[in-house]
């Protein structure tokens, strides 16, 4: 199976550089233009299945570059919930008296525990998708989901994965994703 991951396009200006989690925000005008540009890359592509986060920024991105509405929108592809940190920049979070370190930050006061987030991503990509027996799958999602997928796929630490830059409206494809036991074939 080939999985093509697309990060949603740029969000409304006041949310750029923030941990938006489950905040349901739309795209900026630049975001719409960048999402439309993706059409050039995918115009000749045929996907057996299309999955998209149910959050507005991901849905708006998808609708700009894939015509038709055969996508399946799911909460499983949502960004991690950042609890009290949602809508804040990392600078704001790191100067917060409640912030201690990376582990504590990823646990996100009042948000989704990191173990649950990792489990959600792992189940979707390494159990649910392979069980579908599809050849070519498109997934439109969020930076945190993509970074966690790479953590699981490549065996890099979560901290390393979260230091990776995943630009808005970027995409990457991985081949030969079979199941949970076969992560080393990408």
CATH number for the domain harbouring residue 177: 3.40.50.1240
Is 57 marked within a binding site?
A: yes
Domain total in the chain: 1
Torsion angle (degrees, nearest 10) of CA 88, 139, 66, 79:
-20
HEC readout, 134-170: CCEEEEEECHHHHHHHHHHHHCCCHHHHHHCCCCCCC
- For the record, the structure tokens of 15 come out as 């949310």
Which residues are part of the catalytic machinery? 8, 79
User: For residues 173 and 141, what is the distance between their CA atoms, to the nearest angstrom?
Assistant: 13
Instruction: Give residue 70's domain range.
Output: 2-185
pLDDT per position as a tens digit, 107-159: 667 889 999 999 999 999 999 999 999 999 999 999 999 999 999 999 999 99
How high is the pLDDT of residue 100?
63
Where are the strands (E) in the chain, listed by range?
2-7, 18-19, 49-53, 72-74, 88-89, 136-141, 171-174
Q: What pLDDT score was predicted for residue 33?
A: 98
**Each residue's pLDDT tens digit, 37-88:** 999 999 989 999 999 999 999 999 999 999 877 999 999 999 999 888 899 8
């Amino acid at each position: 199976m080939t999985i093509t991951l697309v990060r949603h396009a740029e969000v409304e200006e006041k949310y750029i550089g923030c941990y938006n989690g489950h905040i349901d925000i739309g795209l900026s005008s630049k975001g719409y233009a960048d999402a439309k540009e993706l059409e050039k890359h995918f115009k000749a592509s045929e996907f057996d299945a299309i999955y998209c986060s149910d959050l507005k920024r991901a849905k708006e991105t998808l609708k700009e570059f894939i015509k038709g509405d055969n996508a399946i929108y799911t909460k499983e592809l949502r960004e991690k919930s950042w609890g009290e940190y949602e809508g804040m920049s990392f600078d704001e979070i790191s100067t917060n008296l409640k912030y201690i370190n990376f582990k504590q930050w990823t646990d996100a006061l009042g948000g989704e525990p990191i173990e649950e987030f990792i489990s959600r991503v792992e189940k979707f990509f390494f159990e649910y998708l392979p069980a579908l027996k599809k050849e070519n799958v498109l997934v439109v999602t969020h930076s945190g989901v993509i970074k966690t997928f790479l953590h699981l796929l490549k065996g890099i630490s979560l901290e390393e994965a979260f230091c990776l830059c995943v630009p808005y409206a970027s995409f990457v494809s991985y081949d030969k994703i079979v199941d949970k036991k076969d992560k080393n074939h990408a």
